[in-house]
């Protein structure tokens, strides 16, 4: 008996649920959970099922391909630990939260290594027997620095996600395209408010009563990729922008870990610069 996550992304048409459930039924699969969504505006159909039964993944995929429109995307995924690399700069909270979750065994992931443009986080990461690579950007232009990182990343051919746990440098289009829909960022703002530098200072100056954090996939336009998760906290006039920053850290780490969990459980579809999350 094997367990699979089946992810289907298709142009909507009548009979899709019927066709998929017929394949499941004919192969004697048990449906553990099932979620569907139709975006009528874009005529798109999304489905995520958890099934178990006595069948090979490739076989199940083949049967689904036979009945579904040829333009469909069909994934049959066997649940197992995914491989992630974390990139960070100097702040400890988001990285530390992931490390503790990893250590406790709750994270469905292997952390291959942590990369930083500084050395500060090395002593924390190495406590957990995880490789730490400090790749300084000092005296390098953006491309030279990224070349070094990309070279390092290219050593891992089984990489599933790159997690930017407060990595404070902008990635070039070249970098982003290489890992399209695989880079998860935490932005310390309730996007799309306060795009860009020091959002807490911007929020303070604007006198907002709520601040937030946003986790999103990274695309070419900084801070504009598909949003995965958002959360907020209330603040008031007595908060300096540094108080907002301190309080914001608690939201940032929660939102990033929530987004990472969704990705590791194959719950996210990306399309039209948005996400469907089951």
- Rule CB under 8 A: which residues touch a copy of itself? 14-15, 17-18, 21-22, 24-25, 28, 30-41, 91-93, 96-97, 99-101, 103-104, 106, 124, 127-128, 190-194, 206-210, 212, 226-232, 234, 236-238, 240, 246, 250, 254, 257, 272-277
Q: Are 38 and 44 in contact (CB under 8 A)?
A: yes
For 211, the 3-state DSSP assignment is: strand
Pairing relation of β-strands 82-88 and 109-116? parallel
Q: Distance of alpha carbon 266 from its chain centroid, rounded?
A: 10
Q: Is 52 a catalytic residue?
A: no
Cis peptide before 4 (omega within 30 of 0): no
CB of 40 to a copy of itself, least distance (A): 8
Which tokens belong to 38? 């139709």
- Which long-range contacts link 133-140 to residues 24+ away (Cβ below 8 Å)? 137/169
CB of 151 to a copy of itself, least distance (A): 30
Which tokens belong to 176? 């982003």
Instruction: Tell me the C-alpha distance between 135 and 148, whole Å.
Output: 7
Q: Are 234 and 216 in contact (CB under 8 A)?
A: no
Phi/psi at 126 (nearest 5 deg)? -70, -20
- Choose the catalytic residue: 52, 223, 250, 266: 223
Instruction: Tell me the C-alpha distance between 131 and 228, whole Å.
Output: 28
Angle, in degrees to the nearest 10, between helices 241-264 and 93-104 = 40
> In 105-207, which ranges are continuous DSSP H helix?
122-127, 142-153, 173-178, 199-206
Instruction: Tell me the C-alpha distance between 30 and 110, whole Å.
Output: 29
Catalytic residues: 223
């Amino acid at each position: 008996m094997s367990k699979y996550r089946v992810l289907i992304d298709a142009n909507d048409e009548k009979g899709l649920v019927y066709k998929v459930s017929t394949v499941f039924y004919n192969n004697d699969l048990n449906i553990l959970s099932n979620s569907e969504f139709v975006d009528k505006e874009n005529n798109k159909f999304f489905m995520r099922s958890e099934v178990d039964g006595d069948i090979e993944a490739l076989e199940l995929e083949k049967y689904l391909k036979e009945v579904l429109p040829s333009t469909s995307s069909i994934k049959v995924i066997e649940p197992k630990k995914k491989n992630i690399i974390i990139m960070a700069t100097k702040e400890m909270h988001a990285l530390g939260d992931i490390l503790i979750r990893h250590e406790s065994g709750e994270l469905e992931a292997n952390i291959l290594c942590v990369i930083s443009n500084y050395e500060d986080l090395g002593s924390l990461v190495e406590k957990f027997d995880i490789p730490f690579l400090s790749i300084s950007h000092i005296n390098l232009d953006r491309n030279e620095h990224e070349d070094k990182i990309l070279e390092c990343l290219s050593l891992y051919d089984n990489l599933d996600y790159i997690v930017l746990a407060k990595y404070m440098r902008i990635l070039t289009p070249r970098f982003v395209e290489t890992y399209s829909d695989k880079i998860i960022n935490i932005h310390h703002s309730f996007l799309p408010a306060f795009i860009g530098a020091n959002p807490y200072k911007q929020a303070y100056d604007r006198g907002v009563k709520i601040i937030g954090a946003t986790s999103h996939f990274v695309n070419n336009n900084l801070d504009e990729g598909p949003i995965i998760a958002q959360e907020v906290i209330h603040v008031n006039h007595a908060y300096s922008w540094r108080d907002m920053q301190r309080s914001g850290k608690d939201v940032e780490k929660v939102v990033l870990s929530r987004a990472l969990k969704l990705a590791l459980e194959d719950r996210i579809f990306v399309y039209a610069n948005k996400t469907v999350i089951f």
